[in-house]
Chain A
Amino acid sequence: MKKRAKFFHQDRDVEKADIDMKRKIGLIVNPVAGMGGSVGLKGTDGEIYKKALALGAKPVTPERTQDVLSHIRHNESITLFVAPGKMGERYIRRNDMPYRVIGTVARETSKEDTKRISAKMLNNGIELLVFVGGDGTARDIYDSINSKIPVVAVPGGVKVFSSVFAVSARAAAEMIETFVESTDVIEEEVLDIDEDAFREGNLASRLYGYLLVPNVKKLLQGAKEASVISGSSVEWKKELATYTVEEMDKRVLYLLGPGTTLKAIADELGAPKTLLGIDAIFEGKSVGADLNEKGILELFDKYEKRKIILTPIGGNGFILGRGSKQFTPEVIKQVDRENIMVVATRDKINRLDCLRVDTGDSDLDRLLSGYMEVTVGYKEKMMVKVRC
């Protein structure tokens, strides 16, 4: 396809000057996301897409995309950078927002297009990337842009379990508008759902990474409710980290699970932390990074007193069994239930029905069930039910 990069306004100079003033926002649509849903297929990864087509599945993301665009009220403040054809351009034409097309795609699109075009948009200076798709699309975007810029994730796929997704097209539009006015962002999780297991009725997920999203406060509540939550996610995590570090015992080996909440604890100590791995701390210093079961058990030979610090995965509440498989039943048994500490921001815990465990050892899971104390703020704890 011929490379296109044009402005759809008569006066190019004016438009170029305008672009500098406007927020540059990228838009990528996964045209096949969500097609499996209507025909009973859980996802459209790989060959399943062709099966969905054969079963008569219709595209669903175009409508979602137009829904988002129609809810943006202040489009004079935005210049869109869109993927070509059915990955974006086709739906924007009906809108009067100025736009520029980035990259090229073949007739059949793939995740490589998503990755390549989003990287190219980043090089073109976009400040926010809006994408429409499912968990798979979120992972592709994560692979490509990581935490370099924030995103607005519009739910369009069959599997949208990652907390990074907006609750609706309308909410996504609101997030875009919030970003135009302010640049406050928070981290949300991208999950990797095993499609084969999902089709069999099992929800097997692991934490894949984190994307930044505009920090949108709930604007539609009654005044009494709306006044309560103050501060930002970053501040809450800092508060948790300060308290946790104050409470740390120098004689104890601490194993920090994955997640940005635990990274905040490591940051408070001035110790390095792998975001998705298990790291060990003793006397405030790192004594092991990105540990596997073997590495953890070797440390146990040296350190008699041990504690595990965990944070739940947003959305599903797993503290063990998802995203931290290195904490095997053997490791957990050598630590004991009372030495498992859970930390989470109040905001995150409030959005969960309960905490969950799935270690692969059903007896151990039952032992871990019941109520667990979760640190949710400075000297503030919440008793939360753990289910298996």
Chain B
Amino acid sequence: MLKEPIKLNMNEVAYPPSKEIIETARKSLMDLNRYSDPEDMERLLGLLADYSGVPKNHIIQSPGSDLLLREIIHTYSKGRKIVIVSPSFFPTVQAAKQFATKLISIRLSPPDFDLNPDLLLDQLNEPCLVILDNPNNPTGKILLDRKMVGSLVDHRDVLIVVDEAYYEFSGISFADMVQEHPNLAITRTMDKAFSLAGARIGYMIAGEAFFDAFSSFHMILPRPGLFAAIQALKDPDYMRRNVCRVIAERERVWNALNDNLAVQVYKSMTNFLLIKTDVPDIVGKLADIGILISDLSNQLSSGFIRVSIGNREENDAFITGYMKIRETCSQKKF
């Protein structure tokens, strides 16, 4: 058992923030008795607008994008059918289940986990709020393309929210469509690619249809997180280098597992891999040797797990640990 567990269960990025980010956040602690200044909030807003390529008035900041998603669902659930996919980002599912007066989940089925566009469009025959994570968590798959989003936003009674939490890894975004299509909103987070999971900075790039409902949504961001985010956006290349490292590691892990034919590993556009394994209770067995991964048995059929991409050493520990456990299980088989 390792002293510190290897955390491959929360889709965090293994690489820490830059020294400059840590130093800026540390300095902000000196004023921890004070709320964040509106000027600093405004500064972050400007940086997020530049980074996203939209005017500032389209950006809504929040401590975490899951809070935004919850607020969207809470606000629009009355009088609207909510349409989501299953499996999906768990806090979205949770909020939809809690607030929806009518909820439709479209099941993504193995082996391809594709979203059937016709099935989704068929649901838009009444006022709807559609929330889709793109890429999808936990499958890692891209569900939407521009044509599909174009078809969705053409329905005027429908609000479309695309959760782009893993945008930096996929490189696919519909943020540029927001100004033209008022019923479209994009949610994003700095938790993942920016290595700021502990800072909890999320934001929404909202079309005009969302402005009224969110006009009073002024969340004061925690001071250290705010300053960390400002510094991170001043030097996005640091994030981009880390994203490249994660993607290279993701492909290495994919190849290592796939070459061994020990498991079915799904192609991913995120910083995690969806895996179907035949090893019973692999989550518990890996936890026993200090490696934490996600058990998806309450979202998908048995044997599905989700593994975040860590640094090289962590990924090697996972691959070796997995292979050893599988070998032991094969020997015990009859």
Contact = CB atoms under 8 A, between A and B. Distances in A.
Interface of A: 34-35, 37-38, 58, 60, 63, 167-168, 170-171, 218, 220-222, 224-225, 227-229, 347, 349-354, 371, 376-377, 379-385
Given A167-B302, A351-B297, A351-B302, A222 B101 contact: no
Contacts of A376: 105
Contact of A228 (B93, B292, B332): B93
A135 to B, nearest CB: 16
A227 B104 CA distance: 21
A371 B292 CA distance: 35
Nearest to B9: A222
Nearest to A227: B94
Given A379-B102, A382-B105, A350 B283 contact: no
A26 B297 CA distance: 28
Interface of B: 9-10, 86-87, 90-91, 93-94, 97, 100-107, 109-110, 116, 119, 280-281, 283-285, 287, 292, 294-302, 332-334
A218 B103 contact: no
Contact of A170 (B10, B110, B284): B284
Contacts of A383: 104-107, 119
Contact of B103 (A354, A379, A385): A379
B326 to A, nearest CB: 13
Contacts of B91: 224
A218 B298 contact: yes
Nearest to A354: B109
Contact of A385 (B9, B109, B281): B109
B207 to A, nearest CB: 26
Contacts of A352: 301
A213 B330 CA distance: 28
A351 B300 contact: yes
Given A228-B94, A351-B297, A371-B119, A384 B107 contact: yes
Contacts of B94: 227-228
27 contacts: A37-B333, A37-B334, A58-B334, A168-B284, A171-B284, A220-B287, A221-B283, A221-B298, A222-B292, A222-B294, A224-B10, A225-B295, A225-B299, A228-B93, A229-B298, A350-B299, A351-B302, A353-B109, A353-B110, A354-B109, A371-B119, A379-B103, A380-B104, A382-B104, A382-B107, A383-B106, A384-B109
Given A218-B297, A221-B295, A222-B9, A377 B107 contact: no
A234 B264 CA distance: 34
A240 B63 CA distance: 35
